[in-house]
Structure 1
């Protein structure tokens, strides 16, 4: 193949890449389409496996095409002028092609893998955003529209019937009435009863996540547009409405960066992204691509948007707020809501794991149900930033303690490997900065976060408050994954009785501790809290300090009992109940 005429070679390479994308995309849609059957058959374990398979699919597809091109091109596989020609030829054939950005991102992944590109090479990659084309695609999104003719019950009988499943509803009319009542109550409470509905619009595809299906839409009113998300559950009696979500906060959490990726098949992903952005405008575009399962496109958009912001400011990268990590160097740009995490060359005491083990922990989380309690972390390779944009102390530590990953080349700081995630306020700082009532609520939510993670077979390993953060919605999430374990890998033990007074005085353990042995009675040591917060935590979450609680959770997982934490109907803490009564 390498001996063919130049133009023929360009055409054949372009077709190999395009065909590779089509194969990937078809497999992506096949896995995504299967979510409906999983939901209808209550096959939750199968759905969990589909999550893993779909995350792995992109990398496997890119590697397959890279191997083919290396074999076919031989020594010309790194011929820069040849690839510049392939890029031009390839791009010319994608004008006005639906969701062409995904195809170009696939192309970029291949050239970056072949050349080991550091930073961006516009000769080999597609780098510009085609905003006008995106808007055109957004306009082509397939929506079902329902004008309002005076009865919410009748309109939602029609909507639920149009969006029916292979399993019947428990009671179509009762479910429609449930939706109508929830909407009316929300409008009465939040919109002063102004029920000037014009029409309801829904994306013509269900959204599946964990054990729930969702309809996603908006309410067009005379003077406003409101989001509406209807959640469905499937139990023995059939399909029924589980929740109607209409507030910005509720909908934002449902599409949050702490949950598993959705399975949905709209006619245009770009259109779905911009539709979601229209109803939850504070949610970044890059995050929405990721939430819909287009992880690589989400990464591409995140890097592009961040880079544009970086060059509009003169700020420097600085250490992120919070205690310094023993495993990661964590930094941020103060004006932008992201943190960057670089693995240290050597880990501080008492960390004993290896670099590869840390990377494996982060990969585990990326494929797991995050229960709304773990930040989605994106792995980037070979990034480049202006070296003068780093504060002196941060630059010194990166070069000194992450020399395997970071180096200076010309006026650029090259970072070989970095994790990027949303910035949240560390929990240990947050509770010192907020009023007593808010501190109490987040400490209780910290305990609930541990329980939510346990339901999805995750044990954080390191329970220190500094490893947890608080989102803008005041939810506690976990973000330090280097000691994450599956609950089923842990051995939850009672602390043995002391044999004599000498045992009681020993600074270390007087009993043998094997790998993955966990002693819940010791958890309270991790909570650097004042007496009020400590007593409140123990009042509500004392069960977390008992081995029996964790053994029961482990037993359920080993028995194949799948648990899910949905992004609504959060358990009310006693403090919240008390505050509600006072209101």
Structure 2
């Protein structure tokens, strides 16, 4: 039996090693895609890496089932496996990821297992690895070099292996930015130092440097985006604003391709730069979203222990497909697929799950919320408000189980809490309404450029973030834009056609008539005309068809994750 335990533990660690190895190999391809402007290759490689974790879990599960037989349900056996595995990984520099991998394996292999402290790594994690300053993590530039030399050294240290549009102009742009933002407020001293992570953050058409300067007794973070246009590589801007940095690492964006030797150390550096991002969000951002899920759960159970409020139905119009609830003191909503869908919805529960998987594998361009999917999710019964319990029993009863003290949810998604756009529009003033309806239109158009058609575009399906950014979060009707048929409405010519009670022309399943959007997109009268004028393209089938044609030609339409007005060369295309 002991030999069998060692073999089981080694199989799990070997699978984890292979996952990390392949993860690293795929990540290392990003600089080549950027250098060669191979945007399709970049996207395909990103999807491969997203699928990697589940593929390894599936393969390992099958190996263990064949090996263990009936032992697979032996509680005491798995306690010993955990102890053995813990010994094997104790000196790893990525042991927090190894712990999460073990958790994923046992959840798939052990029948009906909920989160269990004796069999899983529930409270270990991120800060179980030593966090310390590490010169292998970043380049250092002392203030004694002077600003010009520091900027030139940064540019030399990050050679992307391709021609630059105008490197000298880039250097002067950066020098001017530092003088304007930092040196206008702080005077460098002997201990002033600039550090830039050696790892470059790649996503879509951009490469980002992340750094910080210690000046005035505190760290001043910055991010430098590089783009590779038809005429060469260039620095697009220099970002100092914390809100813009936070948006770069947002839950609405795809994960970065970034080489990582010690994940916890990279996260620690990022946490010092983007201070109000939580640990789980940073792990998500660098591609370890399964460990991000683990860290989120740890944060959640810690919050439960420190709070007393009750879970309740989330604000907003009740969905026809999802039941949504929240804990008022926690910035998350919980979404469950209903047992039965209200008309006219005709899809199945599995089809809805497939839509969520589609979003997980797609570029979210800052306009779709990331989700974590949980099974066997436990909530204390005394924390569930009676009105929520009634709603859950009425709408998702098949997903509920109970024990003496807990509600057990068989399947649930978690997502960042936002104010539903329709509710925000009811309460905000006119200027705020103008801002969010502009954002609403941009959200739809930027999703379209990423080959996503939202389907149900009512304002209740969009949320407003703390930064007043509008994000889409209802995925049950999304489709690829290229699968839709955008049409002008035929003009009625006869008396019968003009007064027909129903459309007199044929309408196929994927036909879309953008002219009709005007009727229902914005209900608030004082801002409706402004919206219709500001986003004219939304109502023009020819515009939608032009986007389809660009996508079908293989063009990647870049969505800038920062304000375009801060770009050094606004005329340059991404």
Name the TM tier (shorter chain).
Answer: over 0.9
SS at match of 2:547: helix
SS at match of 1:227: strand
Q: Compared with structure 1, are the counterparts of its residues 466 and 386 closer, same or farther at alpha carbon in structure 2 (3 Å cutoff)? A: same
Q: Compared with structure 1, are the counterparts of its residues 546 and 9 closer, same or farther at alpha carbon in structure 2 (3 Å cutoff)? A: same
Q: Compared with structure 1, are the counterparts of its residues 453 and 566 closer, same or farther at alpha carbon in structure 2 (3 Å cutoff)? A: same
Alignment of 1:394-433 (within 5 A): 394-433=388-427
State the distance in 2 between where 1:488 and 1:269 align.
38
Whether 1:569 aligns to 2:550 is: no
SS at match of 1:243: coil
State the distance in 2 between where 1:222 and 1:194 align.
6
C-alpha deviation, 1:54, in angstroms: 0.9
Structure 2 partner of 1:470: 464
Whether 1:193 aligns to 2:188 is: no
Structure 2 partner of 1:335: 329
Structure 2 partner of 1:385: 379
Assess if the C-alpha contact under 8 Å between 2:186 and 2:215 holds in 1.
Answer: no
State the distance in 1 between where 2:519 and 2:400 align.
36
The match for 2:2 among 4, 7, 14 is 7
- Superimposed CA distance per residue, residues 171-208 of structure 1 (whole angstroms, 9 cap, x where no aligned partner): 332221111112222236xxx53243611111111000
Q: Compared with structure 1, are the counterparts of its residues 187 and 76 closer, same or farther at alpha carbon in structure 2 (3 Å cutoff)? A: same
C-alpha deviation, 1:140, in angstroms: 7.6
Q: Compared with structure 1, are the counterparts of its residues 440 and 510 closer, same or farther at alpha carbon in structure 2 (3 Å cutoff)? A: same
- Superimposed CA distance per residue, residues 383-414 of structure 1 (whole angstroms, 9 cap, x where no aligned partner): 11112211111111212211221222332111
Alignment of 1:139-158 (within 5 A): 142-149=137-144, 151-158=146-153
Structure 1 partner of 2:271: 277
Alignment of 1:49-64 (within 5 A): 49-64=44-59
Q: Compared with structure 1, are the counterparts of its residues 116 and 315 closer, same or farther at alpha carbon in structure 2 (3 Å cutoff)? A: farther
C-alpha deviation, 1:135, in angstroms: 4.5
Q: Which runs of 5+ in 2 are unaligned?
A: 567-574
Assess if the C-alpha contact under 8 Å between 1:145 and 1:202 holds in 2.
Answer: yes
Tell me the TM-score normalized by structure 1. Answer: 0.94
Q: Compared with structure 1, are the counterparts of its residues 460 and 199 closer, same or farther at alpha carbon in structure 2 (3 Å cutoff)? A: same
Assess if the C-alpha contact under 8 Å between 2:227 and 2:234 holds in 1.
Answer: yes
Q: Give the number of equivalent residue pairs.
A: 564
After the TM superposition, which of the residue ranges 544-553 and 215-224 deviates more from structure 2? 215-224
Q: Compared with structure 1, are the counterparts of its residues 155 and 138 closer, same or farther at alpha carbon in structure 2 (3 Å cutoff)? A: closer
State the distance in 2 between where 1:496 and 1:172 align.
54
State the distance in 1 between where 2:292 and 2:126 align.
15
SS at match of 1:404: helix
Alignment of 1:346-361 (within 5 A): 346-361=340-355
Assess if the C-alpha contact under 8 Å between 2:99 and 2:125 holds in 1.
Answer: no
The match for 2:536 among 542, 545, 548 is 542
The match for 1:456 among 421, 426, 450 is 450
Alignment of 1:511-522 (within 5 A): 511-522=505-516
Alignment of 1:501-540 (within 5 A): 501-540=495-534
Q: Compared with structure 1, are the counterparts of its residues 398 and 542 closer, same or farther at alpha carbon in structure 2 (3 Å cutoff)? A: same
C-alpha deviation, 1:440, in angstroms: 0.6
Q: Compared with structure 1, are the counterparts of its residues 388 and 502 closer, same or farther at alpha carbon in structure 2 (3 Å cutoff)? A: farther
State the distance in 1 between where 2:13 and 2:316 align.
45
Assess if the C-alpha contact under 8 Å between 1:259 and 1:369 holds in 2.
Answer: yes
- Superimposed CA distance per residue, residues 99-154 of structure 1 (whole angstroms, 9 cap, x where no aligned partner): 10101111111111112444311221111235653453676861111111263222
State the distance in 2 between where 1:339 and 1:378 align.
11
Structure 2 partner of 1:123: 118
Q: Compared with structure 1, are the counterparts of its residues 93 and 138 closer, same or farther at alpha carbon in structure 2 (3 Å cutoff)? A: farther
Structure 2 partner of 1:174: 169
SS at match of 1:11: helix
Structure 1 vs Structure 2 CA RMSD? 1.7
Whether 1:212 aligns to 2:206 is: yes
Structure 1 partner of 2:256: 262
Assess if the C-alpha contact under 8 Å between 1:118 and 1:384 holds in 2.
Answer: no
Structure 2 partner of 1:99: 94
Q: Compared with structure 1, are the counterparts of its residues 152 and 501 closer, same or farther at alpha carbon in structure 2 (3 Å cutoff)? A: farther
After the TM superposition, which of the residue ranges 86-95 and 458-467 deviates more from structure 2? 86-95
SS at match of 1:173: helix
Tell me the TM-score normalized by structure 2. Answer: 0.95
